[in-house]
Chain A
Amino acid sequence: MSRGIAEKVVPAPLVGNRQRRSNVGDRIFGGLAYGAGFLILLIALVFLLALIIPAVPSITRFGLSFIVGRVWDPVHLQFGALPAIYGTLVTSAVGLIIAFPIGVGAAIFLAQENGMRVIRGPMSFAIELLAAIPSVVIGLFAFFILTPIMRTNVDPFLNHVLGFLPLFSGSASGYGYLTAGVVLAVMVLPILTALSRDVIATVPRSLREASLALGATRAETIWSVIIPYARVGVTGAVLLSLGRALGETIAVTMVIGNSPSIKASLFSLGYTLPSVIANEFTEAVGKVYQGALFELALILAVITIIVNVLARLLIWRFTKGEPVSA
């Protein structure tokens, strides 16, 4: 690309010998660069194979019944992934339902150009800081500080107010789906806020000003200009956050309660795909048990890849191929 310009500018006889010599270096360097590019593809391929091949014993033995099976009993070599899949989906859903209004609300604020500049800098910094905090630290906090609060305050309150719904029935231990969902909300908040802010910031200023000039209030401008314009991109941001929530391991493992069961109540103990793997992988004996855990990992990887690809497509469509943060 750039070389083409140089060749056009420098007359051919002048280039001659020297060009040929430099071509050797260029060829080596170009080869290295292309090699590095191919290396990434190779790593991704090996990555997939490293998940698929060890899962084969479990796939051939259980087939489809693995995905719909409700029993997870390593002692009797009975493996069904449904409790873990259910737990993963429920905790992620709870996390996103909590994080969505907070994240998008904060993003609308952060993307505005006028006023309140004093708060915006520290806010962006706080959100970036939250993104940088290791998940095990968030798990530690959740395990010691959040679970007692959930047990004595939040869960009984929800049970009192909304107890007629099966979702909020039963007694609370402080662990389980709801607590894990709150933890996930905290963990996806930074990425959801940052991405939504980037998306909302692309709403042309002229559109906003036109709406305000026509007499719309700021709330009406948000509703009828910003949200329709940014909807696709924000959907992408939500999907990326979902991908993050689905795969979050350590913090969830510390508060989910690690019980392979399917309960309607959000106060019940559960299990998620990553936390089964984290808990049981090192003690899994035998090809079948290990294979079952590999198959869980494979299911998890396939779900997150689908979610991520969808998200990237939406965001790419929105930002026209510009690389996005995070």
Chain B
Amino acid sequence: MSRLIVRIALDRIVTALIAIAVALAAIPVLVLLLFVVIKGLPGMLAPGFFTQSFHPYGIPGGGVLNAIVGTVEIVGIASVIAVPVGSMVGIFLSEYGRNSLGNTVRFVSDVLTGLPSIAFGIFAYTILVATLGHFSAISASVALAVLMLPVILRATETAMILVPHSLREAGLALGAPRWRVTLEVVVPAALGGIVTGALLAMARAAGETAPLLFTALGNDYLQLDPLRPMGALALTVYRNALLPYTSLQDQAWAAALLLVLIVGLTNVLARIYVRRIQR
């Protein structure tokens, strides 16, 4: 009988430990979001935050317009490179990739996913910054594009594999060649997954800092030329946080909130889109 009591007690203890683990896993994100909102909101609502570029310490006002424009442009160019290439590779994997080349590509893309994000910056530095002789937004875009590729190609492959085989056979039986079946039957059916993958990859790229450190470098002034150094929200958060002035540190919190909002909204949008497609 006493053994039974021990067993029951042990069961209760394990249940309690698991409950504690669940609580501990949920707490960080809540605390983090709370602080980012509380500390970031005043700065975000300050006049000029969205309409002015960086002001150095001592000059009142100032905002992150240069960084917002930079993030949009850098991620935009990266997406223009990564989305077509990535989805084409995904198409290859699902429609032509049941062989050793496909497995190699899958393996290599998994390895790329696991590489530290700072390595992507070094890669872009070597092939673009060192050869061109100056830092540039385009080199940051290339770094982010390579970082996005594995996400997009995996999402595309997964979405396309889920398309029922009968759809492909129906298309082929109607006499359509394979490429038209792929592009006009399979891809539209898988579009939800492909778009979601692309959106999630873009959100991730927008939040990356390490690949930008020695590619885009950062720029306190508004810059539109992709061949010049450019600011970015993530860089603003990183640089301002390490400055000894509270006004600029507050701006870092505000920029962090904006970044979280962008990334969070993109994630939510992606999920809503998936649900609408699935219905």
Contact = CB atoms under 8 A, between A and B. Distances in A.
B45 interface: no
A128 B39 CA distance: 23
A232 interface: no
Interface stretch (A150-158, A166-174, A273-281): A273-281
A246 interface: yes
Contacts of B59: none
A141 B96 CA distance: 46
- Summarize A's interface: helix, strand, loop or mixed: helix
A36 B203 contact: no
A25 to B, nearest CB: 5
A75 interface: no
A208 B189 CA distance: 37
A103 B259 CA distance: 26
Contact of A249 (B85, B109, B210, B249): B210
Contact of B256 (A50, A137, A307): A137
Interface string B13-32: 11101111110111011101
Contact of B207 (A103, A127, A135, A305): A135
B119 A40 contact: no
A102 B21 contact: yes
Given A54-B126, A109-B18, A274-B116, A217 B165 contact: no
Nearest to A297: B122
B1 interface: no
A218 B114 contact: no
A127 B21 CA distance: 13
Interface of B: 7-8, 10-11, 13-15, 17-22, 24-26, 28-30, 32-33, 35-36, 39, 85, 88-89, 91-93, 95-98, 101-102, 104-105, 107-119, 122-123, 125-127, 130, 146, 149, 153-154, 157-158, 165, 168-169, 172-173, 175-183, 203-204, 206-210, 213-214, 217, 234, 237-238, 241-242, 249, 252-253, 256, 259-260, 263-264, 267
Given A103-B21, A119-B22, A250-B238, 12 more contacts: A29-B182, A30-B178, A34-B101, A106-B21, A106-B24, A130-B29, A132-B203, A134-B206, A134-B209, A136-B259, A220-B7, A278-B210
Interface of A: 1-3, 5-6, 9-10, 18, 22-23, 25-26, 28-30, 32-34, 36-41, 43-44, 46-47, 50-51, 53-54, 101-106, 108-110, 119, 122-123, 126-130, 132-141, 143-145, 186, 189, 193, 217-220, 222, 240, 243-244, 246-250, 254, 274, 277-278, 281-282, 294, 297, 300-301, 304-305, 307-309, 311-312, 323
